[in-house]
Amino acid sequence: MKLSDTSNQILERIKQNGWQGKIVSVEHVQALEKEIKAHHQNGLLDQELYDGYLNRFDFDVSAYFEGAQRLIVVTAPQPQQRVAFNWQGQTHAGIIPPTYSLATDHQIKDCLEDILKPQGYRLEKKRLPEKLLAVHSGLARYGKNNVTYVPGMGSFHRPAAFVTDMPSEEDSWGELQILKACNECNACLQACPTNAIVSHRFLVHAERCITFHNERPFDFPQWMDPSWHNSLVGCMICQNACPMNTKFQDWIEDGGAFSEAETVTLLDDEPPDKLSNSTIKKLEKLGMADYVDVLGRNLKAVIGNQ
């Protein structure tokens, strides 16, 4: 099989599954790191955000497996999930925004390995700034709210990055692209209650973003109005206000329910080893297992608003 045939087969299989994907050279990993560092040096990234931001990513290409040549970035459509919490005789709904569920990552990896493994090629998922990579690859475009948009998916999608030693001439790397629709629209800017979105740059003031604060295991800042909390993690305010999401904003699927006993353990901020196996399995299915340390606090805020 010719080298280009393997790349084409991968891209075709991605398309058949209802996903979208691009292939770029692994050499661009350093460019991603340099770009983030440049934003920090130019005062565009909050120090606390920056300190935690770089630590999350696998920028050390030398630590990848021998012969790593290409990055395959794939994004899959993903809905909001509505989760029911039973507490004090009432049922309270909590929303999980798109991008948090890990299920599609595993599905994509299995799909790619079905093609690559029989040909003797390796594939590993890597933790990279997927949004930035998706935009540079031409897969997505940034909105004014620093959220990425994909044709046919809006912002309701989850990108994932994989490294492979598959030889290929494919390299769709390019300059960052912004949605043209944002030039004449301020819907997200006007909707954001914290003024995290500004008109003169696509990087939001993350230190004022609700998502930044409700993903961290610290007390909410005093300036944050309790009525702003709308999701178990993350935030849907700017995405629901965006005209590019008109076709997708009502795409909400049932995420299951937590019993009264399970809800109480979450509200009491019990550590993972104190949670029942059924609770852990539910959290894992929702992509919330890594957020146990903030779920109790966030759930209290969401229930308070209901």
Mean pLDDT in residue range 274-293: 94
Q: How far apart are CA 55 and CA 77, in angstroms?
A: 27
Amino acid at 2: K
- CA distance to 91, 190, 198, 210, 274, per residue, from 284 (Å): 21, 35, 35, 23, 15
User: Helix crossing, 292-305 with 260-267: angle to 10°?
Assistant: 110
Q: How far apart are CA 136 and CA 239, in angstroms?
A: 21
Give the angle subtended at the CA of 257 by the CAs of 268 and 247, to the nearest 5°.
115
Q: Are 104 and 78 in contact (CB under 8 A)?
A: yes
Minimal CA–CA distance to 26: which of 230, 152, 166, 121?
A: 166
- How do residues 108-154 score in pLDDT, each as one tens digit? 999 999 999 999 999 999 999 999 999 999 999 999 999 999 999 99
Q: In this model, does residue 1 exceed pLDDT 50? A: no
Burial of 56 (0-12, 13-18, 19+ CB in 10 A): exposed
Q: In this model, does residue 3 exceed pLDDT 60? A: no
- How do residues 250-270 score in pLDDT, each as one tens digit? 999 999 999 999 999 999 998
Whole-structure pTM value: 0.92
Instruction: Provide the pLDDT confidence category of residue 232 given band limits of 50, 70 and 90.
Output: very high
Q: How far apart are CA 300 and CA 81, in angstroms?
A: 18
Instruction: Provide the pLDDT confidence category of residue 4 given band limits of 50, 70 and 90.
Output: low
- How do residues 23-75 score in pLDDT, each as one tens digit? 999 999 999 999 999 988 888 887 877 787 777 899 999 999 999 999 999 99
Place of tokens 């012969």: 67
**Neighbouring C-alpha atoms within 13 Å toward the C-beta of 232:** 30
Strands 20-25 and 70-77: antiparallel
Q: Residue 148: beta bridge partners?
A: 142
Q: How far apart are CA 36 and CA 56, in angstroms?
A: 13
Q: In this model, does residue 203 exceed pLDDT 90? A: no
Give the residue, 192 or 304, on which the prediction is more confident: 192
Residue spans per domain, the chain? 3-305
Mean pLDDT of the chain: 93
